Amino acid sequence: MNVLFVCHGNICRSPMAEFILKALVKEQGREGDFYVESAAVSTEEIGNPVYPPAKRCLSRHGVWFDPEKRARQVTRGDYDRFDRIICMDASNLRLIRRIIPEDPEEKIRLMMSYTDVGRDVADPWYTGDFEATYQNLLAGCEAIARGE
């Protein structure tokens, strides 16, 4: 399954989700079953690395991240490359429609729709609470890894 995680800038939530899911499927010996990337709906952070507090949070949980990861924007071509395009919040969902206006295969969903929690993944850029974001992302990634 090819999974693309999407947030506003691709420096906090979506790369955290990318590396969390990669770690989970590696633990399960299912790396070959998944291809995972992340991207942004905006151009604000293009080329920038993962935000240092996000890296610190991943490290605290023993989650490896690629230090060379750089923010990129979602493209229309991503729709054909990925089976699931998972947005972190309603704003991301609204903005991705400018890039990918149609979703005939219903690939585009909200991250927390994979869990029992019907809300957005809070943006730690604003909240400063990277741990709460990590826990939300972990719950969503565990469900995705289970094939839900």
- 146 closest CA partner among 63, 57, 47, 33: 33
pTM above 0.75, yes or no: yes
Q: pLDDT (tens digit, 0 to 9) for every residue of the chain, 148 residues total?
A: 999 999 999 999 999 999 999 999 999 999 999 999 999 999 999 999 999 999 999 999 999 999 999 999 999 999 999 999 999 999 999 999 999 999 999 999 999 999 988 789 999 999 999 999 999 999 999 999 998 7
Task: Return d(Cα 148, Cα 102) in angstroms, integer.
Answer: 23
Is 13 an active-site residue? yes
> How far does the chain reach from its first CA to its final CA, in angstroms?
12
DSSP 64-106: ---TT-B--B--TTHHHH-SEEEESSHHHHHHHHHHS---TT-
Is 7 an active-site residue? yes
7, 12, 57, 141: which one is catalytic?
7
12, 13, 87, 120: which one is catalytic?
13
pLDDT at res. 110: 96
Looking at residue 49, what DSSP letter applies?
B
Is 123 an active-site residue? yes
pLDDT at res. 116: 86
78, 89, 120, 123: which one is catalytic?
123
Q: What are all long-range contacts of 55-59, with beta carbons under 8 Å and residues at least 24 apart? A: 56/130, 57/16, 57/130, 57/131, 57/133, 57/134, 58/16, 58/19, 58/20, 58/134
